[in-house]
Structure 1
Amino acid sequence: MNTLETQNTTRIFGLDVIRALAILLVLFSHVYYLIDSSNPLVISLSGLSGFAGVELFFVLSGYLIGSILLRQYVADDFSLRSVFVFLKRRWFRTLPNYYLILFVNLGIAFLLGYPSQYWYKYFFFFQNFKTYSIGFFSESWSLSVEEWTYLMLPFSLFFALKFGNQLSKKWSFLSTILLLIILAHILRYFNMKNNDISTMEIWNTNLKSVVIYRFDTILYGVLLAWLHQFYSHFLDKYKVYFLILAAHLFVLQFVILNVLGVDIISCPVYFLVFYFTLSSMIFFLTLPYFIFWKTSESVFSKRITFISKTSYAVYLIHYSIVVVLFKYLLNQLFFQLPTSLILFVYLGITFSLSYILYRFYEKPIMNLRDEN
């Protein structure tokens, strides 16, 4: 998963904490598979951590790109040239890493015999645009959601400004974001009416991982960017209360509702239309506390910043390359390695390869982008 860098040299430590937390949650989500755990609690926590990590990335990414777009939208004429400059910078950030790892995954799919009949869709992020056609490189579903949202959002803002000039730029921006969020809910509602999604397995592939039903998650971060731009004092004043409310909503959604037996059969409207609304709001309310956490002198701050900087590379590498190949090798052994050693190797290889990708490929491309 990636998030857009701020366009200045000052890092906000709180956002590094969020990136680091998100990628660590994603890394943990595959541990049960590596160690062959059948413990239902471990499996449940793994699923929750993976979901929370990706959703947190989505909202954070929306906040960062929303901040950049909003500055351009308010300050400039926001022409088509503005849109294409934004997209060019965004694609420099995301596509080189993605296509490199895509080719690696194509090789792995060929060697291990994974389904790859839809390989061509990955090059245009169509592998889960309207239907789920992912047979390998499974984590790419979230990258498709991001890329299509990055494409849709600036063009929507451009047309809103062109044809809705009776509104000020401040309210035109907000109206566009809210209308797109409503559109996502409408699409999910019609999907519920026209498709039989009666199990969580179908829910996972036919709803959770499909672009046209998920782009609004990123837009909640864009909405937060709007609030931060125009009502920063309000966010700063109540950030602790928002964090407390987010914690309570987290417990409500992922603990209390489960204990009460709320499921996809008994409450289909919630699971098929509003489940992602609630989870997005949780992370929307979480972020303000971290937005205002500018610096840290903690002994762990450098480690957190390192994890944050390499988080995109980690996301791309950790599962379809490291976990899949490591699991394949473990299955060839005639003896079982200790769990602690498996975890040590998993994390060590993941962060080592991610650092190499970041240091010698991702960072030089970003430097080239900024120089030009």
Structure 2
Amino acid sequence: MNALEKQNTTRIFGLDVIRALAILLVLFSHVYYLIDSSNPLVISLSGLSGFAGVELFFVLSGYLIGSILLRQFVADDFSLRSVFVFLKRRWFRTLPNYYLILLVNLGIAFLLGYSSQYWYNYFYFFQNFKTYSIGFFSESWSLSVEEWTYILLPFSLFFALKFGNQLSKKWSFFYTILLLIFLAHVLRYFNMKNSEITSMEIWNTNLKSIVIYRFDTILYGVLLAWLHHFHSHFLDKYKVYFLILAAHLFVLQFVILNVLGVDIISCPVYFLVFYFTLSSMIFFLALPYFIFWKTSQSVFSTSVSFVSKTSYAVYLIHYSIVVVVFKYVLQKFELQLPTSLILFIYFGITFSLSYVLYRIFEKPIMNLRDRI
């Protein structure tokens, strides 16, 4: 592992906090389903927490991979070999766990009778590339967004450097990211003009979960990596103000606009083109505070680190394996368990299985990656 990669593997406690927060939000989003809650407030909060958790993961992932790519981009010639080295290391991180859990999900789908008509698409991350064809392993939609962005970004940077050599590397990187973000908005705009999305249910499957309309969310994190690399002092100086602004924008988007009755019918341009822009900017503004939170001696730091390290395994396992099977067992045997016990079992099984996956599969593969 070279010096740049070693520098990047240094853990930052604030980013562990963000990972832990994001995965806990995602876990909470399925509680209402497990306990059969019909409380509209619980359902609304579940939807919000799931959306916020995934969007937070997107921006954080963008910052992390953007930091790696930017260091490579400015440090060497950034050839095609550089691109493939980046992809190889990224795929070592994401694909083994994904394919293992995909095979488990195929088995569950077969046993429980879930639709697996387009199962082969999952192996190439085409299950939601431009249309939604997910019948099982529903959380995989976000992994498709990430994997295709990991491919799009380094190749875009390579061609930008090759054909835009009149620009410095600093500005070539910056303008490439802005251009890709603009492209995503153009695609969403033309989708708005040529589709009928008139409900949030259709919005969820035909827009929110589609790769070609969502890759820009990760790029806001990449843009933050650029700011941190070239303007670290500026971010550090104003990080608290950015966090306060992010909190206000969060309340605006998810509380005030709802109270004012802004919806997909009354304001389609906002919901179909700029909704994700605002949510991405919220987390873009919030993240600098945590980037500079290097260490912690808190009694909770060990727990935060544990949740952070296992977060990818938790994300893969928590719903289509734990929630789906647990719910099936509850219904099959007509079990009436207290809510507290259901939650204890849900979180206990999820983190236990995730830790096993992390220790015996994910971590050894990451160690192998670092040796080759």
> Which residue does 2:158 correspond to in 1?
158
Structure 1: 4+ residue segments shifted above 3 A: 5-9
8 A contact 1:188–1:273 mirrored in 2? yes
Q: Give the match's secondary structure for 2:37.
A: coil
> Which residue does 1:246 correspond to in 2?
246
Shift, 1:8, TM fit: 4.4
Aligned equivalents of 1:96, 1:297: Cα separation in 2: 33
Q: Which amino acid aligns with 1:239?
A: K
Q: Which amino acid aligns with 2:195?
A: N
Q: Which amino acid aligns with 2:214?
A: R
> Which residue does 1:190 correspond to in 2?
190
> Which residue does 2:133 correspond to in 1?
133
Query: Once the two structures are superposed, what CA deviation does each residue of 1:33-90 show, in whole Å capped at 9, x if it has no partner?
Result: 0000000000000000000000000000000000000000001000000000000000
Question: Superposition pairs for residues 102-181 of structure 1, below 5 Å?
Answer: 102-181=102-181
TM-score, normalising length from structure 1?
Answer: 0.98
Shift, 1:333, TM fit: 2.6
Shift, 1:193, TM fit: 0.1
Q: Which amino acid aligns with 1:245?
A: L
Aligned equivalents of 1:109, 1:83: Cα separation in 2: 36
Q: Give the match's secondary structure for 1:142.
A: helix
Aligned equivalents of 2:93, 2:170: Cα separation in 1: 27
1:199 aligns with 2:195: no
Q: Which amino acid aligns with 2:19?
A: R
Q: Give the match's secondary structure for 1:57.
A: helix
Aligned equivalents of 2:8, 2:183: Cα separation in 1: 33
> Which residue does 2:357 correspond to in 1?
357
Q: Give the match's secondary structure for 1:135.
A: coil
1:45 aligns with 2:39: no
> Which residue does 1:342 correspond to in 2?
342
- Residues 47, 228 of structure 1: alpha-carbon distance in 2 compared, 3 angstrom cutoff: same
Q: Give the match's secondary structure for 1:133.
A: coil
Shift, 1:332, TM fit: 1.8
Aligned equivalents of 1:229, 1:290: Cα separation in 2: 15
- Residues 100, 76 of structure 1: alpha-carbon distance in 2 compared, 3 angstrom cutoff: same
Q: How many residues align?
A: 368
Aligned equivalents of 1:200, 1:335: Cα separation in 2: 33
Query: Once the two structures are superposed, what CA deviation does each residue of 1:99-133 show, in whole Å capped at 9, x if it has no partner?
Result: 00000000000001111100000000000000000
Shift, 1:334, TM fit: 3.3
Aligned equivalents of 1:176, 1:334: Cα separation in 2: 55
Aligned equivalents of 2:58, 2:207: Cα separation in 1: 16
Query: Once the two structures are superposed, what CA deviation does each residue of 1:159-214 show, in whole Å capped at 9, x if it has no partner?
Result: 00000000000000000000000000000000000000000000000000000000
Q: Give the match's secondary structure for 1:262.
A: coil
Aligned equivalents of 2:204, 2:185: Cα separation in 1: 17
Aligned equivalents of 1:106, 1:42: Cα separation in 2: 31
Query: Once the two structures are superposed, what CA deviation does each residue of 1:225-257 show, in whole Å capped at 9, x if it has no partner?
Result: 000000000000000000000000000000000
Question: Superposition pairs for residues 1-372 of structure 1, below 5 Å?
Answer: 8-372=8-372
Q: Which amino acid aligns with 2:277?
A: T
Root-mean-square deviation (CA, aligned residues, Å) is 0.8
Shift, 1:7, TM fit: 5.1
Aligned equivalents of 1:7, 1:132: Cα separation in 2: 39
8 A contact 1:128–1:210 mirrored in 2? yes
Q: Which amino acid aligns with 2:342?
A: I
Query: Once the two structures are superposed, what CA deviation does each residue of 1:269-302 show, in whole Å capped at 9, x if it has no partner?
Result: 0000000000000000000000000000000000
Aligned equivalents of 1:252, 1:334: Cα separation in 2: 42
8 A contact 2:8–2:68 mirrored in 1? no
8 A contact 1:6–1:64 mirrored in 2? no
Structure 1, unmatched stretches of 5+, are: none
Aligned equivalents of 1:47, 1:157: Cα separation in 2: 35
- Residues 324, 57 of structure 1: alpha-carbon distance in 2 compared, 3 angstrom cutoff: same
Q: Give the match's secondary structure for 1:145.
A: helix
